[in-house]
Amino acid sequence: MDYHSPASFAEASALAENATGITRFLAGGTDVLVQLRSELVTPDTLIDIKKIDGVHDVTRNADGSWTLGVAVTGAEMSEHPELGRDWPGVVEAMDLIGSTQVQGRATLTGNLCNGSPAADSVPAMVAAGVTLSVTGPGGTREVAVEDIPTGPGRTSLVRGEVISAVNIPARGENGGDAYQRFIPRTEMDIAVVGVGVNLRLDGDTIAEARVSLGAVAPTVLLVKDAARAIVGTALDDAALEALAAAASAACNPIDDKRGTIEFRTEVAGVLAKRTAKVAYARAKGEQA
Amino acid sequence: MSKLHVTTTVNGDEVEYLCDPRETLLDCLRDKLNLTGAKEGCGTGDCGACSVTVDGRLVCSCLMLGVEADGKQIETVEGIADGDVLHPLQKKFIEYAALQCGVCTPGVLVAAKSLLEKNPDPTEEEARYWLAGNLCRCTGYDKIIRAVMDTAAELREAS
Ligand SMILES: Cc1cc2nc3c(=O)[nH]c(=O)nc-3n(C[C@H](O)[C@H](O)[C@H](O)COP(=O)(O)OP(=O)(O)OC[C@H]3O[C@@H](n4cnc5c(N)ncnc54)[C@H](O)[C@@H]3O)c2cc1C
Ligand code: FES
Ligand code: FES
């Protein structure tokens, strides 16, 4: 295994483009090292992106949007005094990942690119409308989070492409987001269902919404029918029932020891309701 | 395969080693620097027996490569006592019998010290969540938590 620590994304991209065999980027290493140690994946080329300028920065831009470097850890996101006020759902989703020790290393980009359908930060990022800057041999393009995963362990990134920044939109007025997952234990477990909801209110009425589901299909889902079920409502009981029905209808889960198909489908609806209530309360400025 | 040269600071002392890029920081601490306090319980980030701090941040040394330590400040359990004088946490762990086999203890001590540096007045719930990544097969956790909470109280009084 060759280890590189390039000083720029252009160099990282060139290294990846010219590498033979298996290439991995090294952010926090909490997936890469586990796979290396258990001999699931031994990369021929490992490209550590943590020495590139700016990768540890959390920046609020003039228009209120956020740019996060690709080496920013879960712990750094939780400790940031402002980020969690704008995007509590994104921060709480990332914070659910692993232990204190894992939080000290794990990143949003690693969570996304590892390609687990149950990755916790991913539905929250999809609901929030997060995009990635992707640097490749031809320059840099911007891609929505939901367009990155193509199946378990697979992404749409092509050879030589590396994610160079995480872009979170401006929060704007009267908005709120939330993420909840169901796990059989209370800590340190893999999501059986994960739900991200982000919405904006006009008075008491939901003007815009995005609902995303994790762990119920081969990739994260952006469920437009679930958003439609609550837009134009004040999240009354009928809207909540329609939301739950749309969330359950979108599920195409696996059957395993952590949850049967029926269970995951039912829980997706229940969690969608709970998560939407939290996002709604946050949009109203209530503590939730 | 060519080895990489790493210069890093461990418990305040500058050290150097040569490592294969696949070797973890835990391998390097134990096999090259003879710092065998950090233990390998699982090697997959689940148990916390390998806990160290890197630039003040608590991490699993089994989930970090030896080469990544270059230029960093590493603290291990060996740096907690001041010579023969035990750290208050270590004294309380003995007083409360917060260990049995002791395999988890170095990791728990490093993690607990890191908690008290960040949060001198944790609630019991905060302490339990902070230490959730440090598994103990023997004690049932209660004595560990009581030792940590009592150390926190003592350190607050002393300051
Ligand atoms: C004990 C433990 C508990 C865990 N619990 C959870 C949990 O509850 N929920 C959860 O979702 N996950 C969990 N994980 C998995 C893991 O911690 C997360 O997926 C984490 O966010 C990965 O981030 P990383 O920075 O460590 O990624 P790395 O391991 O560094 O990289 C992961 C993948 O992303 C790619 N990659 C990294 N950076 C880039 C980039 N800039 N451009 C392109 N590709 C890139 C790498 O090539 C690799 O394939 C857990 C892991 C452990 C060890
Ligand atoms: S040996 Fe590192 S977490 Fe278990
Ligand atoms: S004392 Fe034996 S594992 Fe904790």
What domains can you pick out in chain B, each with its CATH number?
Answer: 4-79 (3.10.20.30), 88-158 (1.10.150.120)
Structure tokens at B140: 């049932």
State whether A188 and B133 contact (CB < 8 Å).
Answer: yes
B31 CA → ligand 3 middle, Å = 23
- Confidence category of residue A189, pLDDT binned at 50, 70, 90: confident
Mean pLDDT of A190-203: 95
Q: Please give the pLDDT value at position A256.
A: 85
Q: Which of A49, A43, A68 is nearest to A58 (CA)?
A: A68
Mean pLDDT score, B47-60: 98
What residues contact residue A103 under an 8 Å CB cut-off, 6+ apart?
A73, A74, A75, A78, A95, A97
Going by C-beta distance under 8 Å and a sequence separation of 6 or more, which residues neighbour residue A138?
none
CA A167 to the chain's CA centroid? 12
Q: Report the alpha-carbon angle B129-A288-A278, nearest 5.
A: 110
**Which SS3 state, helix, strand or coil, does residue B6 take?**
strand
Please state whether the predicted TM-score (pTM) of the whole model is above 0.90: yes
**B68 reaches A (C-beta below 8 A):** yes
pLDDT in tens, A37-63: 988 999 999 999 999 999 999 999 999
* Cα angle B150-B40-A79, degrees, rounded to a multiple of 5: 55
Contact B10, B55 (CB under 8 A): no
Q: DSSP 3-state assignment of A226?
A: helix
Q: Is B59 in the pocket of ligand 2 (CB under 6 A)?
A: no
Q: Of A77, A99, A102, A187, which to mutate for an interface test with B (greatest number of B Cβ within 10 Å)?
A: A99
Helix axes A237-250, A261-283, angle to 10 degrees: 140
Alpha-carbon gap: A111 to the closest alpha carbon of chain B (Å): 15
C-alpha distances in Å from residue A89, one per residue of A122, A171, A284, B85: 11, 12, 15, 45
How many angstroms separate the first and last alpha carbons of chain B? Answer: 52
Mean pLDDT of A262-279: 97
Give the nearest partner residue to A29 out of B65, B115, B134, using CB atoms.
B65
Q: Is the CB of residue A22 below 6 angstroms from any atom belonging to ligand 1?
A: no
How confident is the model over A73-111, as pLDDT tens digits?
999 999 999 999 999 999 999 999 999 999 999 999 999
Cα distance between residue A81 and residue A73, in whole Å: 15
A29 contacts in chain B (CB < 8 Å): 63-65, 68
Predicted local distance difference test score (pLDDT) of residue A257: 82
Residue B1, pLDDT above cutoff 60: no
Structural domains of chain A ordered from first start: 177-283 (3.30.390.50)
Q: Residue B60 and residue A101: Cβ atoms within 8 Å?
A: yes
Q: Are B110 and B52 in contact (CB under 8 A)?
A: yes
Q: Tell me whether residues B65 and A33 touch, CB distance under 8 A.
A: yes
